[in-house]
Chain A
Amino acid sequence: MPEIKVTPLGAGQDVGRSCILVSIGGKNIMLDCGMHMGYNDDRRFPDFSYITQNGRLTEFLDCVIISHFHLDHCGALPYMSEMVGYDGPIYMTHPTKAICPILLEDFRKITVDKKGETNFFTSQMIKDCMKKVIPLNLHQTVQVDDELEIKAYYAGHVLGAAMVHIKVGSESVVYTGDYNMTPDRHLGAAWIDKCRPDILISESTYATTIRDSKRCRERDFLKKVHETIERGGKVLIPVFALGRAQELCILLETFWERMNLKAPIYFSTGLTEKANHYYKLFITWTNQKIRKTFVQRNMFEFKHIKAFDRSYADNPGPMVVFATPGMLHAGQSLQIFKKWAGNEKNMVIMPGYCVQGTIGHKILNGQRKLEMEGRATLDVKLQVEYMSFSAHADAKGIMQLIRMAEPRNMLLVHGEAAKMEFLKGKIEQEFNINCYMPANGETETVTTNPSVPVDISLNLLKREMALGGPLPDTKKPRTMHGTLIMKENSLRLVSPEQALKELGLNEHQLRFTCRVQLQDPHSDSDTLHRIYTHLKSVLKGYTIQHLPDSTVMVESIVIKLSSSAEDPNTKVLLLSWSYQIVTRYVTNIVITKH
């Protein structure tokens, strides 16, 4: 049976890292290659022993596809390609290709330089890995080889995030990566056509949540900023250039305008240059509004938000500063943090996840005393706020996506089967499809029902139409007879006569014969007549004829009678037929009568 195999790599109840293997039509594809951010040792890397016990992965994988630049989806890529070994193609969208190496290098620096770890990839490895990357455009079909093709769809979520359609022959799979079904201020919503893949693969993590509205998240952000400003405090917002910075700036700008606030807002120049650069490059990946903004003006030209100078950090009074990097692990944001941490009127708002080893991670875990360089300790007295703005689909979103793509089967990874029975039931009932939930490290085999395209000769088609009305439609399958010719990669259905002609063969007719002996004293013609009468009485519904040339015919079976030369009472019945089964019945009847 044709089948597709899906294995989420990982173990136990692991969530927090994506690396999925798919075997389809003889091809092996790795979807994402994420780092598990919760572990400090080798457990953070995916376990590739499922693919091969030792040695390089190149010959076992046809390609690797990365959905977006978050570390839990691409963090282990340089480890996989350079330390385990893989030289085949790695596909990702243009923005992902541009942003990935920056995040990977940051991550490497933190892990190796700050935490002193050794079993980790180097800067050179990141560069070598990126050389293997082939960038994808949206909605463009890419032939990985003769049989395997892939296509990227817009996923929303972060800049450059894609959902991927993978096709081999007539079997296909769609992997969603992380996606979002509601547009936000700088990204559109995920979209896919009714591609009807055999399997739609998605995360289960958000399928059992109902998201709080964006307005309420923004409200909380503005409330916290406003309260801090009102008491004369300073707000530090460490951001990654391509994260929510632009969105949060728009929010503050409109709020300041509306409330007629006077406190200064700054953003560090490094931030604006990078962000402008990337947004310009990837303008098609953002939403309508941002595109309009770019056309009208420079994205970071605001009335109330100005470029930051490091000396401003010492100015008295309230202010808001956006600074990089986002995890407070180095640079300007860390410098500002050190100055402001000691004052309880101040606030730091962390708008995203922070990697272990960073100051950001420590303060989000409630640490109030930090060890800085040179054994100095920093007392964290300012207010720490963790806000999540990342855009994810929820229970409603997953149903919308299934409605859009119309998959034949659904597969959810990273969930506990016992905690997902309701969702599984809901999907199965609403869409009448199977919902699979393989555990980490387990392979789910999904049987597919691929349609095989066959060319049909015009003659055969006309003959079929003459037999039974209008051309068959996809809802009412019809059985038909013909000869299938498989030559090279083509399949053709033709009439048997045409096939014989093409093959240069003559048609042969086969007839079978059987001799039955009876003892009967009557004359030949009498005996034959009695046989005829008998058959007519027991084989009702069949055409039985007694022909003038002394044969009896039952349908197309011919019965001839003759008597043995030596003994006139020994009659011999010669039965001959082409291929019908009814003859066996006839033979039995004749024998038992006597």
Chain B
Amino acid sequence: MGEMDAAEFDDVVDDWFIESLKTYKDLHVYQLEHPTRVIEWTSGKTVCVAGYRSAKNELLELLLPLKLLAEENKGLCAERDFKVVHGGFAEGPVHCLRHIPGTRCAVTNDGRSSGLQVWDLGGDDSDVIRRTASVAGRSASGRGSRIAAGLSSDPRVLHGAESSDVLLTDLTSGQSVYKLKSDAADPLSSLQFVSDSVFLACCCSGNIYTVDTRASDAPRPSPPPATGGGDGVLWCADASPSSAGGAGRVARLSSSGEAVLSDLRDLGGAVSRARLDVLIDHHNWDDVKVSWAPALDDCIAASGFSGTVQIYDTSAWAAEPAAARPLFEHRGHVVSSQRADSLPVLVTSHVWHPERPRTLLSAAADGSVHVWDWVDQSAAAC
């Protein structure tokens, strides 16, 4: 009677695989030809990804697998693949990509200059993504620009590499409609609109400018609340979407693994803190990301420190920082890493599904893209 040899055994059924039967409702694993650092929703069912090699790269708009999206009769749907619904070519790397809501327009930046490229994602009659325009940036710093899409009905894009060169440009006219008045050339980690006319310019130093485009005076930055971390600590931040429960909150994350939650109206103070369970040595700060769950109260996701994506329930955090354990950790990229060498693969991006509470997409430097719907084990245990 034959036995499976050890290698075959591990190949077929490894620990993570077994565990995943209980820890994920759905799990899809894809391999792109080239890795992406961007995953951006362009509709409830489609995302855009793009390469970041130094020369020519592809932009792809992918339709999520029908099986994942099926509400009823999920079992009768066998379709598990991504469909490439639109594609195009960029002349350089794509480090940032934003979709302008209500349009078929996307804006990208190459990470090594401040200008933006504007794209038409294509309609039903063609599957080609075409570049339609460029928008000049103000910065000559050689840093890439961060981009945010305006929330108003006019197609507008907010962009800048440093706090001194933030511009709000109207895409129809190509004219800038607002310039942030700031002398400090503070490198930005992100830009984000929190309402039609108010946006946050989050700096790597931890400073956050709350800017009302209707006001005439120059906004003052709010520094991060004092933390244990020393100099040279970098920060990224995310504001909770206005649709989620709870008034505006901002989560900041530092390169030393500190997380700080503040109220939008008082960014200098801290509502609660925690020390996250992350590796803090070896990463590219540009890829580190923290984001609020759009449909799951108090939850944030953090990625970029390693090959995993961590979900934290911040409702348990207190004013005094304590070590926090993640509610869930997606280790799929580490486990199925395609790298030949032994270096850890890093997660380059993650996004939450806008409506499904526990569905996320994540991408890693080895070209993998995962779509996962995790199970809250703590809830199951109750």
Question: Measuring CB to CB, which residues of chain A are less than 8 angstroms from any residue of chain B?
Answer: 208-213, 215-217, 219-220, 222-223, 226, 250-251, 253-255, 257-259, 289, 293, 296-297, 301, 303, 364-366, 383-388, 394-396, 399, 418-423, 425-426, 429
Contact = CB atoms under 8 A, between A and B. Distances in A.
Contacts of B75: 383-386
Contacts of A259: 18
B9 A423 contact: no
B33 A396 contact: yes
Contacts of B187: none
B2 A422 contact: no
B27 interface: yes
Nearest to B62: A210
A422 B28 contact: no
B318 interface: no
Contact of A213 (B2, B30, B58): B30
A254 B17 CA distance: 12
Contacts of A255: 12-13
Contact of A301 (B2, B65, B73): B2
Interface stretch (B126-134, B254-262, B306-314): B126-134
B339 interface: no
A422 B9 contact: no
Interface of B: 1-4, 8-9, 12-13, 17-18, 20-21, 27-33, 58, 62, 65, 73, 75-89, 125-129, 336
A211 B3 CA distance: 31
Contacts of B128: 421-422, 425
B30 A366 contact: no
* Dominant SS among interface residues on chain B: mixed
Given A399-B33, A418-B125, A421-B126, 15 more contacts: A210-B32, A210-B83, A212-B28, A212-B65, A213-B336, A216-B80, A254-B4, A255-B13, A259-B18, A293-B2, A365-B76, A385-B76, A420-B127, A422-B84, A426-B87
- List 10 tightest A-B contacts by C-beta distance, closest first: A422-B87, A297-B2, A212-B80, A388-B78, A210-B82, A213-B29, A385-B75, A209-B81, A386-B78, A254-B12
Given A258-B13, A385-B75, A425-B89, A216 B84 contact: no
Nearest to A296: B2
Contacts of A258: 9, 13, 18
A418 B125 CA distance: 6
Contacts of A254: 4, 8-9, 12-13
Contacts of B82: 209-210, 212
Nearest to B82: A210
Nearest to B73: A366
Find the residue from B3, B13, B28, B128 having the highest chain A CB count within 10 A.
Answer: B13
B101 to A, nearest CB: 24
Nearest to A419: B127
A419 B2 CA distance: 50
Contacts of A418: 125-127
Contacts of B28: 212-213, 216
A259 B4 CA distance: 15
Contacts of A365: 76
A20 to B, nearest CB: 23
B2 A219 contact: no
B49 to A, nearest CB: 10
Nearest to B122: A422
Contacts of B85: 208
Nearest to B58: A426
A293 B79 CA distance: 32
Nearest to A423: B87
Contacts of A364: 76
Find the residue from B21, B73, B79, B336 having the highest chain A CB count within 10 A.
Answer: B21
20 contacts: A208-B83, A208-B85, A210-B32, A212-B28, A212-B65, A213-B29, A217-B80, A219-B20, A223-B21, A255-B12, A258-B9, A303-B1, A365-B76, A383-B75, A396-B32, A418-B127, A422-B84, A422-B88, A422-B128, A423-B84
A304 B274 CA distance: 49
Contact of B78 (A226, A253, A387): A387
Nearest to B27: A216
Contacts of A212: 28-30, 65, 80-82
Contacts of B20: 219
Contacts of B18: 258-259
Given A217-B80, A386-B77, A297 B1 contact: yes
A287 to B, nearest CB: 13
Contacts of B84: 208-210, 395, 422-423
Given A210-B32, A259-B18, A383-B75, A388 B336 contact: no
A399 B85 CA distance: 18
Nearest to A210: B82
Contacts of B80: 211-212, 216-217, 220, 388
Contacts of B77: 386
Nearest to B76: A386
A144 to B, nearest CB: 37
Contacts of A226: 21
B12 A209 contact: no
A226 B21 CA distance: 9
A213 B76 contact: no
Contacts of B4: 250, 253-254, 257
A209 B31 CA distance: 11
A304 to B, nearest CB: 11
Contacts of B31: 210, 213, 396
